[in-house]
């Protein structure tokens, strides 16, 4: 046996060495069988390594590390008692971290009220209770309206919660719950933390927490009972007091008084005598049949349903003691009208449908569509229109073609029927257009109101648009919001088009109807271009680069029409002058002149379509044409007026200002394209020279006009007029000693290879009216019309979105000015600033645009809620004065901005009486009682209660008694009771003395 034991001992030593080398935490059994095969005797050795940590110990250690990391283990913290309302008005902080128990994840979070405090790392006083125990008895912040449930139940300002992590099962078994409670107890004891710690158990929706708080010689246990139904014996205050007294188990006689705080909550859901949020639809109008429907040019506003779903009235008795109030199963003193404190909160409707938000949201969805017009409407429209156009264009050629014999197959009955069906299908397709014809005509008449005026003369055609442009200029200084949003002026064509397309998209057919309207709009623009009708609702002049690109395109087309009209009118006037000269001379016109005029002659309207024509410059001031001089001198052409009494340097002729071409207007996309082309030329000498030539086209035109107006001029004369700074004059003395002024070109003009010198040498003597046009209005107009025709509906919506957001902000400002809500006014200012940055960026982020639209919807919702509340609270108000109106407005504003509003004066105040009347009306409507003229409270014989049964009852019981023994320290005890229709909850905090028990 001795040898056997020695062998076993040596084996154990070797086994321990291996374990020590690998540093593994394990428990094992080692068995040795030292007997021979025929010897059944054996010995078993069991070795347990107690130096290694278990998973439970690791978890406890990790929790302690987190508490130390958050600095929750300070021995003594000096803080004042929180002021009244601190839990609502103060700021709450939260920090969290994940911890693991084996493979199960927990989340540990620290909730605390941010407040100034004085921390001392000294030694804790024996009589000082932890802050959590002091908070149990605090009466300053009972029933906070918006806080963590543990704050409401226990009045804590700081606590730690351990809850199962995301996607982890709940802690339901009793053994696991006890294990977690043991863990937090060990962590608190080891770290010396005095902050209460809770563990969430059972399902999360039940909100059941078990916790503990430890201090020097004291401990508080937090317990919760949760049931679905309220037991009948505990459905009143007396029964709850019995539970509380039995739980604390105090043997002192008489018992210390129990402080009581009670809150009853009444819910009002049925709103009587309240107006509709929207006017009923008018089916007699063309645009009727829609709830909240408006005429074209306006945006709808408001909710389609009641925005306020519930009003919660909380009646509170804050400081009561046992024996003052009676509440049992037979009788109750708790009358809501006698409650000393009233507070109100409102619950708004979820997913409220607001018309303005819906309009903008649906239009924003168009920006994400990428279909073309052909894909949306089908190729039928485009093919039929193209076929008709081709038939018209080839009409003359068909007249000259020899008649071909018609084959007999074409004369068959089947072919005739097929042709008839095709024609009928085409007519049916036109009749079944996406947009109703009457609606389409109404929209076009709204966009182009000058079309309703009889076009009897050209003067009548132009007076209306000019008057509109004047009015736009008059009111643009007052409203510069479009400059901030890069949209278009209010009531401009682009602005009105955005509103019409938005309404068509929402109410009259969606994307197909929008595409149809856009096609008709482009056709109207082409008609106006071809017939020289100015576009209504656009300011004159070049495109305004501060506006959106689509507005610039419309302005460019209007510039083309204006130039074309002016040129044709000038030619007609010139031709009229020639005709009058012929008549004066007796009609002796030469045949050559007649032949030349006929060869020129197309109609004035079609003349502008020629690419080889010269530019006819406007000369409203009258061109001072000089006649042919003697001696064969060059005839001066294109003179406008003398220039500052100057004369030419090489002659005594006066220097004339020439009639020049106006610079070519450009839109921002053309400027970007031109910049890219110039940048691609590079920095080489040849590229720089070519870039300079491209940029000097206007300079060359002005030089040619100057030469034509001033025969015999030199470059210095041109510089004196065009760039006076580049002509340097100095006083000198001539040969006779008289002072004279001599001038010369500046240094930069004398640089070799100067572009001005090169352009002057190549410039011909050509007046502006015979020069090639710098701005080819025919080409530019066709480019604009092609751009508009090829524009996809999604891109069109993207171009018009700034105008629609502009209109939405204006609408919100108008509605807010009526209701006067400071928070919304501030939000509108912030939204305008945000839109300014968002819409001026190169590429608008759809996600940011969507968030911005949601902000507008939120503001619309708040305004709608304020309007609804004002209508409800003003319905039964007898006193109509400024003081009552101001009080009502302040109260409504507070309801929208604060979670809960205190009614000063409770049920006896003006607001309290209004709320009382609202409940009376709802009660009578619910019980189908007749409405009497006298609804004053206190009328004898009334059987209908003024208030419904309370939807929720909250009762808070507090006292301070010694536990567990009569000689123990007196410690705070607290029980929070919640009694509802489908819930019964008791949240208790019971303290005990751990030193003298």
pLDDT of residue 861: 92
pLDDT of residue 571: 82
Element (H, E) at 647: strand 639-647
* pTM to 2 decimal places: 0.72
Task: Specify whether the CB–CB gap between 74 and 91 falls below 8 A.
Answer: no
Distance between CA atoms of residues 75 and 494, nearest Å: 71
Query: Mutual orientation of helices 355-366 and 793-819 as an angle, nearest 10°?
Result: 160
The ranges assigned to domains in the chain are: 61-227, 639-766
Beta bridge partner(s), residue 639: 658
SS3 259: strand
Which tokens in the block code for residue 662? 């106006």
Burial of 420 (0-12, 13-18, 19+ CB in 10 A): exposed
pLDDT of residue 50: 62
Distance between CA atoms of residues 131 and 136, nearest Å: 9
Give 418's DSSP letter.
H
* Residue 27 Ramachandran class (φ > 0 left, ψ -120 to 50 alpha, else beta): beta
pLDDT of residue 930: 57
Contacts (Cβ under 8 Å, ≥6 apart) of 318: 139, 142, 261, 340, 341
Pairing of strands 218-227, 983-993: antiparallel
pLDDT of residue 126: 56
Beta bridge partner(s), residue 975: 957, 988
Pairing of strands 208-215, 739-745: unpaired
Distance between CA atoms of residues 314 and 306, nearest Å: 22
Which tokens in the block code for residue 271? 């709103």
pLDDT of residue 368: 85
Residue 741 has phi, psi (to 5 degrees) of -110, 120
Distance between CA atoms of residues 699 and 702, nearest Å: 5
Which tokens in the block code for residue 24? 């593994």
Residue 92 CB neighbour total at 10 angstroms: 15
Residue 922's nearest CA partner among 264, 273, 265, 313 is 273
Contacts (Cβ under 8 Å, ≥6 apart) of 885: none
Distance between CA atoms of residues 789 and 794, nearest Å: 13
Distance between CA atoms of residues 787 and 673, nearest Å: 15
**b/e per residue, 163-178, with b = 16+ CB within 10 A?**
bbeeeeebbeeeeebe
- Extract the residue ranges of the chain whose pLDDT is less than 70: 1-52, 75-80, 116-127, 272-294, 379-432, 453-479, 586-633, 681-689, 691-695, 734, 737, 842, 875-881, 929-942, 997
Task: Specify whether the CB–CB gap between 125 and 68 falls below 8 A.
Answer: no
Distance, CA of 736 to chain centre: 81
Distance, CA of 151 to chain centre: 35
Distance between CA atoms of residues 815 and 723, nearest Å: 54
Contacts (Cβ under 8 Å, ≥6 apart) of 970: 256, 960, 961, 962
SS3 684: coil
Distance between CA atoms of residues 132 and 140, nearest Å: 14
pLDDT tens for 250-284 read 777 778 889 999 999 999 987 765 666 665 555 45
pLDDT of residue 663: 79
pLDDT tens for 126-185 read 568 888 999 999 888 899 988 899 999 999 999 999 999 888 888 898 999 999 999 999
């Amino acid at each position: 046996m001795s040898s056997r034991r020695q062998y076993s001992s040596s084996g154990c030593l070797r086994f321990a060495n291996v374990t020590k080398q690998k540093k593994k935490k394990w428990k094992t059994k080692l068995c040795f069988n030292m007997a021979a095969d025929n010897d059944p005797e054996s010995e078993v050795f069991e070795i347990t390594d107690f130096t290694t940590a278990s998973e439970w110990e690791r978890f406890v250690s990790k929790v302690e590390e987190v508490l130390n990391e958050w600095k929750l283990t300070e021995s003594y913290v000096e803080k004042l008692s929180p002021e009244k309302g601190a839990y609502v008005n103060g700021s709450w902080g939260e920090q969290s971290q994940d911890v693991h128990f084996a493979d199960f994840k927990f989340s540990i979070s620290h909730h605390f009220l941010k407040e100034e405090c004085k921390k001392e790392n000294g030694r804790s006083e024996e009589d000082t209770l932890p802050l959590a125990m002091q908070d149990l008895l605090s009466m300053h912040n009972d029933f906070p309206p918006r806080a963590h449930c543990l704050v409401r139940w226990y009045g804590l300002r700081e606590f730690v919660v351990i809850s199962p992590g995301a996607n982890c099962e709940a802690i339901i078994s009793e053994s696991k719950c006890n294990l977690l409670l043991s863990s937090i107890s060990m962590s608190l004891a080891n770290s010396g933390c005095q902050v209460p710690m809770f563990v969430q158990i059972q399902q999360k929706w039940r909100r059941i927490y078990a916790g503990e708080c430890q201090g020097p010689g004291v401990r508080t246990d937090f317990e919760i009972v949760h049931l679905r139904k309220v037991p009948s014996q505990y459905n009143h205050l007396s029964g709850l007091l019995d539970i509380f007294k039995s739980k604390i188990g105090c043997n002192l006689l008489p018992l210390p008084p129990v402080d009581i705080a009670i809150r009853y909550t009444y819910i009002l859901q049925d709103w009587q005598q309240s107006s509709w949020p929207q006017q009923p639809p008018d089916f007699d109008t063309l645009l009727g049949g829609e709830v909240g429907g408006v005429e074209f040019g306006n945006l709808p506003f408001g909710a389609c349903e009641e925005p306020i779903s519930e009003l919660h009235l909380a009646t509170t008795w804050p400081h009561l003691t046992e024996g003052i109030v009676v509440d049992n199963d037979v009788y109750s003193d708790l009358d809501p009208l006698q409650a000393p404190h009233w507070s109100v909160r409102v619950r708004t409707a979820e997913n409220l449908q607001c018309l303005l938000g819906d309009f903008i949201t649906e239009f924003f969805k168009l920006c994400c569509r990428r279909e073309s017009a052909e894909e949306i409407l089908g190729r039928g429209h485009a093919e039929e229109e193209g076929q008709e156009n081709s038939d018209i264009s080839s009409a003359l050629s068909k007249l000259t073609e020899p008649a071909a014999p018609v084959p007999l197959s074409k004369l068959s009955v089947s072919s005739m029927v097929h042709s008839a069906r095709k024609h009928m299908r085409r007519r049916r397709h036109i009749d079944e257009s996406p947009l109703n014809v009457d609606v389409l005509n109404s929209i076009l008449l709204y966009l182009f109101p000058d079309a309703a005026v009889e076009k009897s003369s050209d003067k009548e055609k132009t007076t209306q648009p000019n008057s509109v442009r004047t009015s736009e200029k008059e009111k643009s200084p007052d409203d510069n919001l479009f400059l901030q949003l890069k949209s278009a002026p209010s009531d401009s064509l682009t602005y009105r088009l955005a509103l019409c397309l938005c309404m068509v998209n929402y109410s009259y057919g969606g994307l197909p109807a929008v595409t149809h309207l856009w096609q008709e709009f482009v056709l109207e623009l082409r008609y106006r271009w071809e017939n020289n009708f100015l576009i209504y609702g656009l300011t004159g002049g070049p495109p305004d680069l501060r506006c959106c690109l689509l507005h610039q395109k419309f302005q460019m087309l209007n510039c083309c029409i204006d130039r074309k009209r002016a040129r044709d009118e000038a030619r007609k006037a010139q031709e009229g002058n020639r005709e009058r000269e012929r008549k004066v001379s007796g009609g002796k016109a030469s045949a050559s002149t007649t032949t030349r005029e006929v060869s020129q002659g197309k109609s004035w309207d079609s003349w502008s379509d020629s690419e080889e024509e010269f530019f006819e410059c406007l000369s409203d001031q009258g061109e001072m044409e000089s006649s042919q001089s003697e001696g064969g001198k060059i005839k001066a052409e294109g003179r406008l007026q003398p220039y500052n009494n100057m004369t030419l340097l090489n002659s005594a002729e006066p220097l004339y200002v020439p009639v020049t071409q106006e610079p070519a207007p450009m839109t921002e996309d053309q400027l970007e394209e031109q910049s890219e082309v110039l940048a691609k030329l590079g920095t080489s000498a040849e590229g720089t020279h070519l870039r300079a030539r491209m940029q000097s086209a206007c300079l060359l035109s002005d030089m040619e006009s100057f030469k034509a107006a001033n025969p015999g001029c030199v470059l210095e004369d041109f510089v004196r007029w065009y760039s006076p700074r580049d002509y340097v004059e100095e006083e000198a003395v001539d040969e006779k000693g008289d002072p004279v002024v001599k001038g010369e070109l500046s240094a930069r003009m004398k640089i070799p290879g100067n572009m001005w010198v090169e352009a002057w040498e190549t410039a011909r003597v050509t007046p502006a009216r015979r020069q090639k046009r710098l701005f080819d209005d025919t080409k530019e107009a066709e480019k604009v019309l092609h751009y508009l025709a090829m524009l996809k509906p999604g891109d069109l919506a993207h171009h018009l979105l700034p105008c629609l957001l502009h209109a939405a902000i204006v609408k919100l400002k108008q509605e807010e000015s009526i209701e006067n809500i400071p928070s919304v006014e501030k939000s509108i200012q912030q939204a305008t600033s945000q839109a300014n940055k968002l819409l001026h960026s190169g590429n608008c982020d759809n996600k940011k645009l969507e968030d911005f639209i949601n902000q507008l919807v939120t503001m619309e919702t708040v305004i709608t809620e304020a309007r609804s509340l004002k209508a409800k609270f003003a319905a039964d108000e007898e006193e109509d004065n400024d003081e009552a109106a101001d009080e009502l407005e302040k109260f409504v504003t507070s309801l929208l901005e604060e979670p809960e509003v205190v009614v000063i004066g409770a049920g006896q105040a003006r607001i309290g009486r209004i709320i009382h009347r609202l409940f009376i009306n709802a009660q009578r409507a619910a019980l189908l009682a007749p409405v009497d003229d006298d609804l004053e409270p206190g009328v004898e014989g009334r059987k209908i209660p003024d208030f419904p049964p309370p939807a929720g009852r909250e009762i808070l019981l507090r006292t301070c008694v010694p536990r567990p023994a009569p000689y123990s320290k007196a410690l705070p005890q607290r029980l929070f009771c919640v009694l509802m229709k489908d819930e019964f909850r008791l949240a208790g905090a019971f303290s005990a003395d751990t030193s003298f028990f």
